[in-house]
């Protein structure tokens, strides 16, 4: 039996399992009220933030994203998530590790700091769910995940942008070139990876299959899901969700919005169908609260992150993770 707590379970709960009864408008704002702790023993999944926006090419503000997503997650901790109908924290031991600290005034140290942050968590045996921050953070996270799970990983990449523009300077901070580097460094297998929701052009997509946004609209969410699963198979897979994959109508609070994107309903349908995918790591990035309206972008990101946890809980219940 897990204990029932009334209020501030994030700092009062003694078990990593179970949920607390909270006033949604009050209390400590960990992600979905999970225990705020740096203790890693016993955790299945560790949530952490990387509040970086030094790599953006247009609008800043994603450094405030992790805090906004945590705040938006309070509703999701109140009831059993829809459409799952179960409390994922009865199955899945999830903690909130807080944020990765890096020296924002020493930019060339940031990549390695994020990688070391991830190495520490992954060494415990826990999986990571990371809240961005701009999309640059996925590259150092992939470095640590590829070390842990073996090269090359599959990548499921939701985005308006391919992020494979050429960049041979390993020290550059650029949120549009990470997967160019990840392919060239052998971190991901382009043939067993997939990009979903794209609506920008690149002369060289690095051999990664694409299901662009018009195609998703044409074939539908379920057919898109089946294509994704056919591409990645059972390969260890890292999933990264740039919130600008969604149309600006559903996610205005982001650094580089592009019209014509996925609806939140399409994205959630696809993510919820990932229970057959061997997910080894996940992130949700590019929420920029200064450009958000009524926190709808942060809310969409929190729902996606919650559904990813429910996917992992379902896999654990089925003995798959």
Instruction: For residue 14, tell me if it sits in a domain.
Output: no
Comparing CA positions, the residue from 96, 84, 83 lying closest to residue 130 is: 96
23 pLDDT band, cuts 50/70/90, is confident
Is 7 a member of any domain?
A: no
Positions at the binding site: 135, 159, 161, 163, 242, 244
pLDDT, tens digit, 9 for 90 and up, residues 232-269:
999 999 999 999 999 999 999 999 999 999 999 999 99
Longest dimension (CA), the chain: 57
pLDDT at 3: 65
- The verdict on residue 99 lying in a domain is yes
Nearest to 287 by CA among 64, 2, 14: 64
Q: Token match 């379920």: residue?
A: 222
**Residue 69, domain member (yes or no):** yes
| Total Cβ atoms within 10 A of residue 103 | 10
Identify the pLDDT of residue 113. 98
In a domain, 133, yes or no: yes
Query: Tokens 């219940």 label which residue?
Result: 317
Interval 25-35: pLDDT, tens: 888 899 999 99
- Written in H, E and C, the secondary structure of 254-278 is ECCCCCCCECHHHHHHHHHCHHHCC
DSSP 307: H
Residue at 16 is within a domain = no
What is the average pLDDT score of the chain?
A: 95
Question: Two tokens at 48?
Answer: 């952490």
* Tokens representing residue 147 in the block: 């070390």
- Would the pLDDT of 169 be above 70? yes
Q: What is the CATH number of the domain that holds 264?
A: 3.40.800.10
Residue pLDDT, tens place only, 263-301 = 999 999 999 999 999 999 999 999 999 999 999 999 999
Task: Report the number of distinct structural domains present in the chain.
Answer: 1
Residue 255 falls within a domain, yes or no? yes
Residues of the domain holding 145: 40-318
pLDDT tens digits, one per residue of 27-71: 889 999 999 999 999 999 999 999 999 999 999 999 999 999 999
Binding site for Mn(2+), residues?
Answer: 135, 159, 161, 163, 242, 244
In the three-class reduction of DSSP (H, G, I as helix; E, B as strand; rest coil), residue 195 is classed as strand
* Nearest CA-CA partner of 67 in 26, 111, 98: 98
């Amino acid at each position: 039996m897990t204990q029932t707590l009334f209020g501030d379970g994030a700092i009062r709960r003694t078990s990593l399992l179970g949920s607390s009864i909270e006033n949604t408008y009050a209390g400590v704002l960990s992600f979905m009220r999970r225990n705020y702790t740096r203790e890693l023993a016993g955790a299945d999944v560790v949530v952490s933030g990387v509040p970086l926006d030094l790599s953006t090419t247009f609008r800043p503000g994603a450094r405030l994203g992790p805090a906004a997503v945590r705040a938006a997650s309070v509703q999701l901790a109140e009831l059993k998530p829809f459409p799952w109908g179960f409390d994922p924290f009865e199955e899945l031991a999830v903690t909130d590790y807080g944020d990765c600290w890096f020296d924002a005034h020493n930019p060339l140290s940031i990549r390695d700091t994020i990688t070391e942050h991830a190495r520490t968590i992954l060494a415990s045996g826990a999986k990571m769910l990371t809240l961005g921050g701009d999309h640059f953070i996925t590259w150092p996270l992939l470095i640590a995940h590829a070390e842990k799970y073996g090269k090359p990983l599959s990548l499921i990449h939701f985005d308006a942008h391919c992020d494979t523009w050429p960049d041979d300077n390993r020290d550059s901070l650029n949120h549009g070139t990470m997967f160019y580097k990840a392919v060239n460094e052998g971190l991901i297998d382009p043939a067993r990876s997939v990009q979903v929701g794209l609506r920008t052009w690149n002369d060289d997509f690095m051999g990664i299959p694409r299901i662009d946004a018009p195609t998703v609209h044409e074939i539908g969410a379920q057919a898109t899901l089946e294509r994704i699963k056919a591409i990645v198979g059972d390969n260890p897979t890292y999933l990264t969700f740039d919130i600008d994959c969604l149309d600006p109508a559903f996610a205005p609070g982001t650094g580089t919005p592009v019209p014509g994107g996925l609806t939140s309903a399409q994205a959630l349908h696809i993510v919820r169908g990932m229970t057959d995918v061997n997910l080894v790591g996940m992130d949700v990035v590019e929420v920029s609260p200064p450009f958000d309206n009524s926190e709808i972008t942060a809310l969409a990101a929190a729902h996606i992150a919650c559904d990813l946890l429910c996917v992992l809980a379902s896999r654990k219940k089925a003995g798959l993770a």
